[in-house]
A and B are shown apart, each in its own frame.
Chain A
Amino acid sequence: MSKRRPYVRPMDGWWRKNPYFVEYMIHEGTALFVAAYAAVLLFGLLRLAQGEAAWNGWLLALKSPWSIGFHLLALAAIGYHAYTWFKIMPRTMPPLVVGGKRLPAWAITGGGLAAAGAASLLLFVLVWGLAR
């Protein structure tokens, strides 16, 4: 094997030098919160399968300040994920042609955000109706 060591430009922290990439890393980073929240739900589901005492222990754990703090952060992160998901949707989905004209980016983003708002409201009303 050869001993030569070609120069490799260091790439450490490359994304910190450009606000565009900082934003990119933040919106990719929201996946950590999506994973963590799914893990919290999965843990709750496993506790539910173990019976009432186990479930009540999980409910109690949700009331701890650490849990509330985590969920506030997760709400911000997943909320930001939702916003960026629809913001980049004009570039991630195939072009949509309506009436012979390509649907503008703002319409796709706006439509997505409106759908998210409507779905969230519907979910809240459903939960409220089921729990009443």
Chain B
Amino acid sequence: MKRPLKRSNAPIFWALFGAGGMLSALLGPMLVFITGIAVPLGLLLPADTMSYPKMLAFAQNLIGKGFIFAIIALFLWHAAHRIFHSLHDIGIHAGRGARLLCYGLAMLGTVLAAYALLATGF
């Protein structure tokens, strides 16, 4: 008896992992440097680079919204996938619970980011 192959959901999670990995490899270090080091310490960039009016304008712009959403959501999905698969390597036999926790947190972060980007208006 032949049964149709069950479709795997792996490619979806792998694609999100890959996209987040690529984005964080291309832009991650510079983003950390800008938002976490240069602006707080007043190095290289103008002191008001991340002032409220400027960041609000950026978050209200459609391109800005898309950029912020892609960075936060894809970074989270990348990390969730990698951490989930590393659980096995450190001796935790990850089952449904660990899967729900890892991908669930990424999903929660994605929904919160979408909510905040809608709340900042257009």
Mostly, the A contact residues are helix
Docked pose: A52 CA to B59 CA in angstroms: 13
Docked pose: A38 CA to B106 CA in angstroms: 10
Query: Quick check: is A115 within 8 A (CB to CB) of the other chain?
Result: yes
Establish whether residues A85 and B32, one from each chain, have CB atoms under 8 Å apart when the complex forms: no
Docked pose: A59 CA to B34 CA in angstroms: 13
Q: Considering the complex, which residues of chain A in the window 27-46 have a beta carbon less than 8 Å from any beta carbon of chain B?
A: 28-29, 31-32, 34-35, 37-42, 44-46
Most buried by B among A32, A38, A79, A86: A38
Q: What residues on A are CB-neighbors of B49 within 8 Å?
A: 127, 131
Partner of B36, one of A74, A81, A124: A74
User: Known interface pairs A38-B71, A71-B36, A130-B58. Does A112 touch B46 (Cβ–Cβ under 8 Å)?
Assistant: no
Docked pose: A112 CA to B26 CA in angstroms: 8
Minimum C-beta distance from B23 to chain A (A): 9
Q: What residues on B are CB-neighbors of A34 within 8 Å?
A: 20, 24, 28, 75, 78-79, 82
Q: What residues on B are CB-neighbors of A45 within 8 Å?
A: 59, 68, 72, 113, 116-117
Q: Considering the complex, which residues of chain B in the window 42-79 have a beta carbon less than 8 Å from any beta carbon of chain A?
A: 44-46, 48-50, 52, 54-56, 58-59, 68, 71-72, 75-76, 78-79
Minimum C-beta distance from A34 to chain B (A): 4
Interface residues on B, range: 35 or more
Most buried by A among B52, B79, B89: B79
Establish whether residues A71 and B32, one from each chain, have CB atoms under 8 Å apart when the complex forms: yes
Establish whether residues B46 and A131, one from each chain, have CB atoms under 8 Å apart when the complex forms: yes
Establish whether residues A41 and B26, one from each chain, have CB atoms under 8 Å apart when the complex forms: no
Q: What residues on A are CB-neighbors of B37 within 8 Å?
A: 68, 71-72, 75
Q: Considering the complex, which residues of chain A in the window 80-121 have a beta carbon less than 8 Å from any beta carbon of chain B?
A: 81-82, 85-86, 112, 115-116, 119-120
